[in-house]
Structure 1
């Protein structure tokens, strides 16, 4: 049994094309578009799928309140610059965490979601 607590993450979006463009530009990756039960999805690349952008009935961006997912950001400063260039905004950080935890920051994405970013200490 795995100790992994997070199995899947969904980030609600209003405009899927705009959101896909934002995340692909910021994370320099390609998302896989799918439709499942009338829910428009763009799945993040990962050998064990961990999440997707989602649009449809029952999904609404959280703006500032609600859960804050943290995404892996091994080059935090460059990622924050790309987020700003893509239409997002840095709202917190970067903050150096104590010990060997790394740094974190929060951005708002193209849809208004608050997203946490974590840059681990390079080992």
Structure 2
């Protein structure tokens, strides 16, 4: 086991809206899949890296509480500007962490999820 996390899922009530939010914010293209009736938009990744997706499924609900995942960004300030432009909101930070860990912030996405951003030290 290289990483304790092997997959993550971000709940969405409107997958097209969530894709329209995340693609410009994170500057990437998501891959749509329908797996046994579960709609997913897969974030790009290469094995053995951790993968993840936006997921629309009747048993998942977006939440501002609970676990927080942190998405990598090389430019936290620019990413937060794109969050704002896409209709999201920064709700914490940016906060520079001690011991050369980097800088973090939290935002609310188009679906009502609280998501973290992490910029490694420059």
Q: TM-score range by the shorter chain?
A: over 0.9
Structure 2: gaps (5+ residues): none
CA distance in 1, matches of 2:38, 2:70: 23
Q: Report the Cα distance in structure 2 between the residues aligned to 1:69 and 1:102, rounded to whole angstroms.
A: 15
- Deviation at 1:37? 1.4
Displacement, 1:103?
Answer: 0.3
TM normalised by structure 1 equals 0.94
- What is the number of residues matched between the two proteins? 120
Higher mean alpha-carbon deviation, 47-56 vs 81-90, is at: 47-56
SS in 2 for 1:33: strand
Aligned-residue offset at 1:74: 1.3
Structure 1 runs not aligned, ≥5 long: none
2:111 counterpart residue number:
111
Deviation at 1:57, TM superposition (A): 1.6
Whole-Å separation in 2 of the counterparts to 1:81 and 1:98? 24
How high is the TM-score relative to the length of structure 2? 0.95
Superposition map of 1:35-50 within 5 A? 35-48=34-47, 50=51
What SS does the corresponding residue of 1:90 show, helix, strand or coil? strand
Instruction: Write the deviation string for residues 48-72 of structure 1: whole angstroms up to 9, x where unpaired.
Output: 261000001201101x211011110
Equivalent in the alignment of 1:54: 55
Partner Cα distance (1:101, 1:53) in 2: 27
RMSD: 0.9
Cα distance in 2 for partners of 1:14, 1:25 equals: 19
Distance 1:114 1:15 in 2: 16
